[in-house]
Structure 1
């Protein structure tokens, strides 16, 4: 997986981190400060300058990735133009990314969520880890409500050292809360990618006549409406939401990628990776 600004490495057979550490390839000198390990002092430089310097190296490491997969009630929606629900599509996307990263010895973990974190699989790089991730993804979506911002903030406070966080969700949440959570991820040094999975019905509202709409996160809420009278208002509200989500992602340097469930899955993946290569 080729990626721009990967926190701890990029995939090209090896992963070379932009963060300084003490590894194989020399990066630069810096002055010694109290508390530095003596074994990292460059004594040859000391002999020439009578000053203590620390040799810094470029750390080579594998990528650490955490997948956050939305399994709330809204992800159960699947229109007539697609063979997949949004959660089906999210499962396939997460599984493919896991397979790719484990194949190149990257470490992957997964957290499924609705209004709370649910299945949690720790980050590992062993090939056998694929089964644990797949098992968590295979669990059926719940019918609970979504709390994207709240869940993300809980997860951000528990994630370990910085890595790549991939969010797979329909993004239907309160924008201000999502913005605070993305800021928290970024402040902790994580690179964040947001795959927004939507059904084409949600993007263009193709309904006509009287239609019964049912809340997938609260089945007690059902309404029969004349779709023609609300179409313009819906599309306007939807575009406002998308514009706001794009804005908070751009402000936090989060890559937002929209994938609709009627698109061939491999086409969506190819376009995404092509986009990432162009940006790098």
Structure 2
């Protein structure tokens, strides 16, 4: 079904729902009405080993035989569990603030945070483990993946407390993002990718070397993709301290050519590393983006 179908929520409809948890629920319910299959069905369940018990783990997964011999609590870990840990990495750098002065305000970060919350909501419904990393020039928060019922509440609270920073240049941190992700799983990077191609490639390589499946949710504002400006406009850099006043019509063709080449380079970099790239336009419905995510997961499963 077309993403323009009335059952899909548009950005303005979602923006009128102020609470992030309600926005996420609305997006996921819109997605589920399409009766799509779960993106995680069909994984084999094989015993993989043990790990130490941590507060919040369900007691039903404790290996009581091991406890009777060692007097220590260990959790049975299955291959399904290691495959179904999802790490959501959310960019909260300065460039993600673009769009916050639009009417109604709907920035790249608003869109990205709602996408992250929606993924977490969907994963929890499937009883899968999800975690969150927010970052700008450094990691601001790290919630390790968990399938505990309270995890979604913690994750949503962290998203509500996060706002795009005034700091720039995430490139210094990008290649280090893989370091805290100790357990193999699915990595969902939600960012506008304001980094050079060499840095992006190195970052994605680090994830893949750790055997993560990687999906890049590339968030761009509709203005960045279409360049709809008509009147004489003052452009101000968000990642660099520069201003330019000019007639946008004289720039449109060359700008769009540069953007298209940039997107082609990103897709090429991702494709070469076996990374799925999903371009998210802030003007388009989020549940349609989740449908794209599902399609990609189904393809990853059958590789």
For normalisation by structure 1, the TM-score amounts to 0.75
Q: 1:231 aligns with which of 247, 252, 274?
A: 252
Structure 2: state its 5+ residue gaps.
1-27, 29-38, 51-77
Q: Distance in 2 between matches of 1:266 and 1:134?
A: 18
Looking at CA atoms only, which structure, 1 or 2, has the larger radius of gyration?
1
Partner of 1:16: 44
Q: 2:194 aligns with which of 159, 172, 178?
A: 172
Q: Structure 2 vs 1, CA of residues 108 and 216 (structure 1 numbering), >3 Å: closer, same or farther? A: same
Q: Is the 8 A contact 1:205 1:235 kept in 2?
A: yes
Q: Distance in 2 between matches of 1:189 and 1:274?
A: 21
Partner of 1:135: 157
CA-atom RMSD in angstroms: 2.5
Q: Structure 2 vs 1, CA of residues 236 and 60 (structure 1 numbering), >3 Å: closer, same or farther? A: closer
Runs of 4+ in 1 over 4 A off after TM superposition: 79-83
Deviation at 1:89, TM superposition (A): 0.5
Partner of 2:279: 258
Q: Is the 8 A contact 1:170 1:196 kept in 2?
A: yes
Q: 1:125 aligns with which of 123, 141, 147?
A: 147
Deviation at 1:198, TM superposition (A): 0.9
Whether 2:219 is the aligned partner of 1:200: answer: no
SS of residue in 1 equivalent to 2:229: coil
Deviation at 1:119, TM superposition (A): 1.6
SS of residue in 2 equivalent to 1:74: helix
For normalisation by structure 2, the TM-score amounts to 0.70
Structure 1: state its 5+ residue gaps.
2-9, 24-57
Q: How many residues align?
A: 234
Q: Structure 2 matches for 1:1-280, cutoff 5 A?
A: 11-12=40-41, 15-16=43-44, 21=48, 59-61=79-81, 63-78=84-99, 84-138=106-160, 139-148=162-171, 150-218=172-240, 220-277=241-298, 280=302
Higher strand share: 1
Q: Distance in 2 between matches of 1:249 and 1:161?
A: 22
Q: Is the 8 A contact 1:82 1:262 kept in 2?
A: no
